[in-house]
Amino acid sequence: MRYDLRRSYREKALETLDQIERVTSIPGKDGGAIEIGIPGIDGKALDLMVKAARGKDSLKLLVERYGASRSVIIVGAILLVLVKKAESTNLKNAYLLFQFIENLQRKDNSSILVTTLTAIQHQIGLARVWQRTRMPESIYPFLQYCLDFTGTRASWMPRELSDEVQLGAIDVLRAMCEVRILNLNFDHAQHSWLEHKAKEIASLNAENATFQTQVSNLLNCLQKTD
């Protein structure tokens, strides 16, 4: 009988990832999770995730298995794999990112949100996989959530971290505008809400040059495509 070494290694990698998930997530009082710091655990999880993602449908298995994890370390590791895959023109992998978004439980974590937004930008700007295909409907509620994301959602969160989430969402909208796929993905009401929200964010951050520049770039693009 032929022994499948790749399958054996993948099973061992999954077992170790399961162990990492168990020891890096403990339910918190707020419904979130308390992360346990273990030196080098982030790198080990990423290395295992990269290797476990090799092979047909392996990435799909990982998204289904770990996408809804409460462990930031596990979710962060699979997300970094998805970010790399977002640079390819493979539509199948592109849909996996949105399956990940739909199952995502760690929306309280700004780093996870910013990295997810970066992956979407890669799909739009580098891979251009959504030029003729409508993006999954989860794109709108996810962008809504990110544009509404503020430090008030978590009192412990520094303001600059929530700023990065909002700026990331504005960057995604601008990227969609530049390749003229906003109208393909959003109806008139959704389009109006997103534009209004961007203006509101700019007015609330009148002294923040970064916000003013990013929103101005978005609005200028919207005017050109009207």
Q: Are the C-beta atoms of 20 and 44 separated by less than 8 Å?
A: yes
Mean pLDDT of 96-109: 93
pLDDT digits (tens, 9 = 90+) for 161-171: 678 999 999 99
User: Average pLDDT in the 122-131 region?
Assistant: 86
Fold of 86-225: Son of sevenless (SoS) protein; Chain S, domain 1 (1.20.870)
Distance from C-alpha of 104 to C-alpha of 108, rounded to nearest angstrom = 10
pLDDT band at 156 (very low <50, low <70, confident <90, very high): very low
Q: Return d(Cα 158, Cα 115) in angstroms, integer.
A: 17
- Summarised one tens digit per residue, pLDDT across range 40-76 is 678 888 898 988 888 888 999 999 999 999 898 999 9
> What does the domain layout of the chain look like in residue ranges?
1-65, 86-225
Find the distance separating the first CA and the last CA of the chain, reported in whole Å.
Answer: 64
Q: What is the pLDDT of the chain when averaged over all its residues?
A: 84
Q: What is the pTM of this model?
A: 0.85
Return the pLDDT at 87.
Answer: 82
Q: What is the largest CA-CA distance in the chain?
A: 70
Residue-level pLDDT at 115: 93
Helix or strand holding residue 34 (H, E): strand 33-34
